[in-house]
Amino acid sequence: MEKKPHFVRREFLPREVPSISLALLLAAILLLNALLYLYLNKFYNSLGRVETDPGLCPFGHFKFGGVKNCSPWLSCEAINREVRKLKCVGEGAVKKVFLSEWKEKKVVLSQLTNSELKEDFLHGLKMLKALQSKYVVRLLGYCEQQFTVLTEYHPLGSLRRLNETLHIPKYKGMNTWHRRLMLAIDYVSIIRYLHSSPLGTLVMCDSNDLDKVLSQYLLTSDFHVLVNDLDALPLVNRSAGTLVKCGHRELRGEFVAPEQRWPYGEDVPFEDDLMPPYDEKTDIWKIPDVSNFFLGHVEGSDIVRLHLFDIHAACKQRDPAERPSAQEVLDTYRKVLTLLIREAAMPGTREML
């Protein structure tokens, strides 16, 4: 009896190769996702995702410059004896700022210049003491009798100089959409911290224009943002029906929130007593403008703006109640960063699948 020829089903072989390739691709994707998770987890911690910093000292103490042990805040006597002024580096309506030296370390000494504003100065000191955290410049000492405050020195200065700093050859590698978005996340993290601070809901009132906002924050040498000036930080207490007003003069311009502008038209002269108070959502209105400055005009920044379009549109709602919270804005920023990093790490993955 003639045997029937035995045919090998070769059609299975070509299918096995793509199956193996697909498995390898999926394994690579899982590995990249794991690496991204570890990276972003480390990144969020470096941003100060939690307020409790193991590097912080107990209340009334500080450490910096690589020193392991905590020292008590410097007293009037210690400041007068141990701190040496080097030069004046700034002056505002409330205080004059001196680059100084303490135990061969650069520090900043701030002194009241206008006695009529001593309450603002003391309020800023009170906030500085109470809000010590990853988000706030480090307090080293103070002397209430002499209206003097000593803080840590950050050589890159205020955020007003950000673009100039990023054009210095040493820092050009930082001038990317990724690093700029991280700075914006730092900024929103600070706003979120102030809105849910240990003292309650605080409003950043020294923010009537972009330049003024940027002057309130410092850029650290490792490219993070700290809030530096806390002189104008009133408290919102909804349960007590307490809202705020940022100053006693009329505020103008598109940068300030609509509720901060005189609501009765140009025919009615401004009167502080008639100006309605408002809440912390004024800070939310300003986030898109500040973030737009952070993002700049580097490659990829327009893609970031596109992903942030919806949350920024929500921030610009004229009705404060319809604006998102700082936490919601922060969550969106972090999601966008995660998405864009994943897309940059795995270009074309979707098409391959």
Same fold flag, 71-153 and 154-345: no
Between CA 90 and CA 14 the distance in angstroms is 73
Average pLDDT value over all residues in the chain: 88
Q: Quote the DSSP letter at residue 245.
A: -
Q: Is the pLDDT of residue 6 over 60?
A: no
Q: What pLDDT score was predicted for residue 80?
A: 96
Q: Is the pLDDT of residue 309 over 90?
A: yes
Between CA 166 and CA 4 the distance in angstroms is 78
Q: What is the pLDDT of residues 100-151, one digit of tens each?
A: 999 999 999 999 998 889 999 999 999 999 999 999 999 999 999 999 999 9
- Give domain limits for the chain: 71-153, 154-345
Residue 350 tokens, joined = 């979707």
Instruction: Determine the topology of domain 71-153 in CATH.
Output: Phosphorylase Kinase; domain 1 (3.30.200)
Between CA 68 and CA 243 the distance in angstroms is 42
Q: Is the pLDDT of residue 4 over 70?
A: no
Q: Is the pLDDT of residue 350 over 50?
A: no
For tokens 């995660």, the residue is 338
Q: What pLDDT score was predicted for residue 352?
A: 45
Q: What pLDDT score was predicted for residue 226?
A: 98
Sequence-separated (6 or more) residues with CB below 8 Å from residue 133: 48, 51, 53, 56, 193
Residue 134 tokens, joined = 């990853």
Q: What is the pLDDT of residues 159-168, one digit of tens each?
A: 999 999 999 9
Quote the pTM value: 0.84
Q: What pLDDT score was predicted for residue 49?
A: 40
Class of domain 154-345: mainly alpha
Between CA 151 and CA 140 the distance in angstroms is 5
For residue 219, what are the β-bridge partners? Answer: 225
